[in-house]
């Protein structure tokens, strides 16, 4: 069932839980995510990240994502993650995506507001929801690729975190549907235990009168920290790196245990799908407080 992210986040707010959002740059991850959501009978968001254009183009994977969403037995939103240009976002809308993220967070504040507002006007005219980002997300040196590439000393730098009052002004100026915030998470694999500012989440939520808040860099966070973030107001959690690692580990184990046996790629494809599904099931249980 194809829906918008806006619809899913309204329900998440009622239930005080979070919706899992997963990048799907191949058929194995797309199938694994949908299978996990259907097994648990929970909604899910499937995403195409613009940084994954080197793996597969939006023209190739986008129609598959929309088709899988329409045929799913649970509500599924199709979302563009970290769109860096208006052209890319409009392309996603034309392909049938029901939600887009326009990321101008590394530009100056006034430009971020101006460009985001322009996109909101376009997207809302065709009932597509819009996510934007305020504050700076840092990248791990392993498996990052979105946001700013930073030194290890930048991790946890509160000067990069989202300012609650600026968030209030940004939302009022742009009319976005959800806001991705910086509060200590990183894109990619964590090199040290995350140190998250939960009070900042609560402050942003209070200042912005309850707009759905988005957690990027959601992989690798502990169950307790996920729960604390959700309790503070996070309603969408982006998760990719650790499901990707789970598939890689499963394939490595299979190859190592095969010894001299012949291996066929189609069998390995199913191994990867199963590993992703199992990893996503565990994440969705936490996000949906099951």
Question: Which has the closest alpha carbon to 39: 289, 287, 280, 286?
Answer: 280
CA 277 to chain centre: 17
Backbone angles phi, psi at 4, to 5 degrees: -95, 160
Tokens in use for 90?
């409009």
Q: Residues 6 or more apart from 92 whose CB is under 8 A from it?
A: 48, 58, 62, 80, 83, 100
Give dist(CA 145, CA 187) in Å, integer.
7
Alpha helices (H) along 41-143: 58-71, 86-95, 109-124
- CB-based contact 182:158 (threshold 8 Å): no
Tokens in use for 117?
């507002």
Tokens in use for 236?
């969408």
Give dist(CA 25, CA 50) in Å, integer.
10
Tokens 């199992």 found at? 278
Number of C-beta neighbours around residue 68 at 10 A: 19
Give dist(CA 19, CA 42) in Å, integer.
9
Asked about 81 being catalytic, the answer comes back as yes
**CA distances, 108 to each of 102, 120, 229 (Å):** 14, 18, 27
Give dist(CA 156, CA 154) in Å, integer.
6
Work out the angle at residue 14's Cα, subtended by the Cα atoms of residues 20 and 129, and round it to the nearest 5 degrees.
55
The residue from 81, 103, 177, 197 that is catalytic is 81
Tell me the catalytic residues: 81
């Amino acid at each position: 069932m194809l829906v918008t992210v806006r619809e899913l986040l309204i329900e998440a707010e009622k239930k005080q839980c979070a919706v899992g959002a997963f990048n799907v740059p191949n058929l194995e991850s797309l199938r694994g995510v949908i299978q996990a959501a259907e097994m648990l009978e929970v909604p899910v968001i499937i995403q195409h990240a613009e940084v994954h254009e080197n793996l597969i183009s939006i023209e190739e994977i986008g129609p598959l994502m929309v088709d899988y969403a329409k045929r799913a037995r649970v509500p599924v939103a199709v979302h563009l993650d970290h769109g860096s240009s208006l052209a890319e976002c409009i392309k996603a809308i034309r392909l049938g995506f029901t939600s887009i993220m326009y990321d101008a967070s590394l530009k100056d504040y006034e430009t971020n507001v101006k460009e985001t507002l322009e996109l909101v006007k376009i997207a809302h005219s065709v009932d597509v929801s819009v996510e934007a980002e305020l504050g700076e997300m840092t990248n791990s040196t392993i498996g990052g690729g979105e946001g700013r590439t930073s030194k290890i000393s930048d991790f946890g730098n509160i000067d990069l975190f989202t300012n609650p009052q600026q968030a209030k002004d940004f939302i009022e100026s742009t009319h976005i549907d959800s806001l991705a915030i910086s509060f200590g998470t990183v894109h990619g694999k964590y090199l040290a235990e995350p140190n998250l500012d939960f009070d900042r989440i609560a402050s942003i939520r209070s200042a912005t009168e309850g707009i759905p808040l988005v957690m990027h860099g959601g992989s690798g966070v502990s169950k307790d920290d996920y729960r604390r973030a959700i309790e503070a107001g996070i309603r969408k959690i982006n998760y990719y790196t650790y499901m990707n690692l789970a598939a890689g580990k499963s394939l490595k184990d299979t190859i190592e245990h095969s010894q001299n046996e012949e291996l066929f790629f189609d069998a390995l494809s199913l191994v990867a799908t199963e590993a992703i599904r199992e990893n996503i099931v565990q994440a969705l249980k936490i996000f949906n407080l099951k």
